[in-house]
Amino acid sequence: METREIISTGNDLAAIAAVDAGCMFFGGYPITPSSEVMHTISDLLPKVGGAAIQMEDEIAGVAAAAGAGMSGVRALTATSGPGVSLKAENLGLAQMAEVPMVLVNVMRGGPSTGLPTRVSQGDIRQARNPSHGDYRSITLCAGNLAECYTETVRAFNLADRFMQPVFVLLDETIGHMHGKAVIPTAEEVKAGIVPRKKFEGKPEDYRPYDVGADEAAVLNPMFEGYRYHFTGLHHDGRGFPTEEIETCRKLIQRLEDKVMKHTDELELNEEFMLDDMTGEEGEVLIIAYGSVSLAAKEAIRHLRKEGIKAGLFRPITLWPSPADNIKKYTDMIKNVLCVELNIRQYTEEIERVSGRLDLEGLYKVNGRAISPHEIVTKIKEVF
């Protein structure tokens, strides 16, 4: 793979990635700590014939992005936790109507206004269920500067593959971190874009939602002669509202199955210094994600120098969770430490998957990062 080196911030890299991945529309509203995504992409999109609009609020931003997605354009919106709260209703519409878009969420503290300028991983539960109803959210989480780029690119490809919103979670530390990233070239990214599926038969035969039981809708771009209906109501194969029992059941089950029966296409993890772990007494497994994983890696290097065999399992796709791999490692290794910038939001999922209630945790919710020293100290205290 051809690569390039770029010195940038995580927020700017997400914006650059969107344009390289073929995004042609941004609709959003500034909110700390995500505003730089909008600032940067508003400079980049006009140069490639795209459009970036600062809307009057977060609700209008996601509604505009949904409209662009309906027209066949790759679309982006960006925000932080309070903005996702405002976008929730339209995200539910996009799930039901199967409209692809990407949402970059640069996490901060909450609830409510919380700590606007400080780091947190407070939106993990929110990203799993950003709106009401039955569906499956797809959520990716960058753990370094390069992944702010690569995971945003992946998100656009997944949004078109599964025809739904895809979240990319950064956090304030990753979003505002400034450094060197080795990323694919723009040409490499463009070569990897898979066009959205398109129906090419007779217009009278077009039924965008009449697809296989585990398949995504096939939504042709607007204004190309294929007529169908967008709605947030339960709908039939053409998109028109219905309350017919079996049609409604199949629709909602399909929204579940189109994701959960294809998790092999979604799961991506990092296994750091786990190759020599065998489950022997004294080994320590750290589970962390996002910027916290950077501190965890430094802690692991330090622990190994002291003769403590430690390793990291880092989910990059948070939702759906990498359940099989989490269970594999938590079954094998007795000492497990979950490290998060929240109070147990992902730990609860690890407990559910592993069936274990003896996991140790290190959590911080005061807006400050977790240091390698804190992780090392915690491990020495509890194991």
Type of residue numbered 5? E
For 17-41, the DSSP string reads HHHHTT--EEEE---TTTHHHHHHH
Looking at the structure, do residues 179 and 284 belong to the same domain, yes or no? no
Looking at the structure, do residues 76 and 171 belong to the same domain, yes or no? yes
Looking at the structure, do residues 274 and 129 belong to the same domain, yes or no? no
Looking at the structure, do residues 185 and 275 belong to the same domain, yes or no? no
* pLDDT confidence of residue 38: 98
Is residue 88 in a domain?
Answer: yes
Torsion of CA 184, 187, 188, 194, to 10 degrees: 130
Return d(Cα 275, Cα 266) in angstroms, integer: 23
Torsion of CA 247, 249, 253, 258, to 10 degrees: 10
Torsion of CA 154, 159, 76, 58, to 10 degrees: -130
* pLDDT confidence of residue 326: 98
Give me the residue label for tokens 């080196």.
5
Return d(Cα 359, Cα 354) in angstroms, integer: 10
Type of residue numbered 310? A
Return d(Cα 70, Cα 284) in angstroms, integer: 48
Q: Which residues contact 6 (CB under 8 A, 6 or more apart)?
A: 13, 16, 180, 181, 183
Residue 170 CA, distance from chain mean position? 9
Tell me which residues of the chain have a pLDDT lower than 50: none
DSSP 8-class letter at 187: H
* pLDDT confidence of residue 60: 98
Q: Which residues contact 34 (CB under 8 A, 6 or more apart)?
A: 11, 78, 79, 80, 83, 104, 105, 106, 170, 175
Return d(Cα 273, Cα 250) in angstroms, integer: 44
Alpha helices in 138-287 (DSSP H): 145-162, 172-176, 186-191, 245-260
CATH number where 181 lies:
3.40.50.970
CATH number where 372 lies:
3.40.50.920
Give me the residue label for tokens 């065998």.
278
Looking at the structure, do residues 17 and 136 belong to the same domain, yes or no? yes
- Taking alpha carbons only, the member of 272, 287, 291 closest to residue 170 is 291
Is residue 165 in a domain?
Answer: yes
Is residue 135 in a domain?
Answer: yes
* pLDDT confidence of residue 346: 98
**Phi, psi angle pair for 138, to nearest 5°:** -110, 120
Q: Are 151 and 289 in contact (CB under 8 A)?
A: no
For 313-356, the DSSP string reads EEESEEES--HHHHHHHHHH-SEEEEEESSSSTTHHHHHHHH--
Looking at the structure, do residues 168 and 19 belong to the same domain, yes or no? yes
Looking at the structure, do residues 287 and 150 belong to the same domain, yes or no? no
Is residue 241 in a domain?
Answer: no
Provide the β-strand partners of residue 102: 76, 166
DSSP reduced 3-state for 141: strand
Return d(Cα 250, Cα 242) in angstroms, integer: 12
Give me the residue label for tokens 């269920």.
129
Is residue 303 in a domain?
Answer: yes
Give me the residue label for tokens 């622990």.
303
* pLDDT confidence of residue 1: 79
Is residue 372 in a domain?
Answer: yes
Boundary-marking domain end, from 157, 172, 191: 191
Please give the tally of structural domains in the chain: 2
Boundary-marking domain end, from 160, 176, 191: 191
Return d(Cα 308, Cα 112) in angstroms, integer: 41
Looking at the structure, do residues 171 and 305 belong to the same domain, yes or no? no
- CA distances, 281 to each of 284, 308, 332, 337, 351 (Å): 9, 11, 11, 15, 21
Looking at the structure, do residues 159 and 297 belong to the same domain, yes or no? no
DSSP reduced 3-state for 63: helix
Boundary-marking domain end, from 191, 218, 250: 191
* pLDDT confidence of residue 300: 98
Is residue 197 in a domain?
Answer: no
Is residue 153 in a domain?
Answer: yes
Range of the domain at 72: 3-191
Looking at the structure, do residues 281 and 155 belong to the same domain, yes or no? no
Looking at the structure, do residues 38 and 144 belong to the same domain, yes or no? yes
| pTM > 0.85 | yes
